[in-house]
Amino acid sequence: MKFSTFLILLAFVACAPFCLAGVITLTNADNGRSINAHVGDNVRVTLTPQSANGIKSSWSEVASSDTHVLTKTNEAQTPSGGVSATFQASELGNGDLQATATCVSCNNANSWTVSVTIV
C-alpha cells in the first residue's frame, strides 16, 4: 500500500464517527418521544413559544440530563420566547433533553422532554 493511500485511510478511520454524523431535528411536537442517536450525531432542538387567548409562553434553556452523553454545542433564545439548541451525541449512554415553557403573565408551566439513547 502506498504511504499516501495509508494516510487517507487513516484520516477516514479517525474522522468516521464525526464526518459521517447525522442530524436529528426535534420540535415542540416531539415532546415525550424516545429516540436513538449514534456517537457523533447532532441533535437540534427548536422550540417555539405558544400563544393562546393573548397569553404567551417563553421557553427556558434546553438542558441535558447527562452532559457527557449529550454535550451542548450552542444555544440561542429568540426575542419571541423560543429557543434553539444543538447537542452532540458524545458517548454511549442515555440522557434526557428538557426545557420548560413558562406562561409570561401567569404561574403556569409546561415541560418538554425527549429521551435519547446513544447507540
Owner of C-alpha cell 458524545: 90
The model's pLDDT over 59-101, given as tens digits with 9 standing for 90+, comes to 999 999 999 999 999 999 999 999 999 999 999 999 999 999 9
Question: Which three three-digit cell numbers place residue 19?
Answer: 464526518
The model's pLDDT over 15-44, given as tens digits with 9 standing for 90+, comes to 554 455 799 999 999 999 999 999 999 999
Question: Which three three-digit cell numbers place residue 72?
Answer: 451542548
Question: Which three three-digit cell numbers place residue 53?
Answer: 387567548
Q: Which residues pair with 110 in a beta bridge?
A: 101
The whole-number pLDDT of residue 92 equals 98
- Sign of torsion, CA 90 114 116 46? negative
C-beta neighbour count of 85 within 10 angstroms: 23
- Cα distance between residue 76 and residue 93, in whole Å: 26
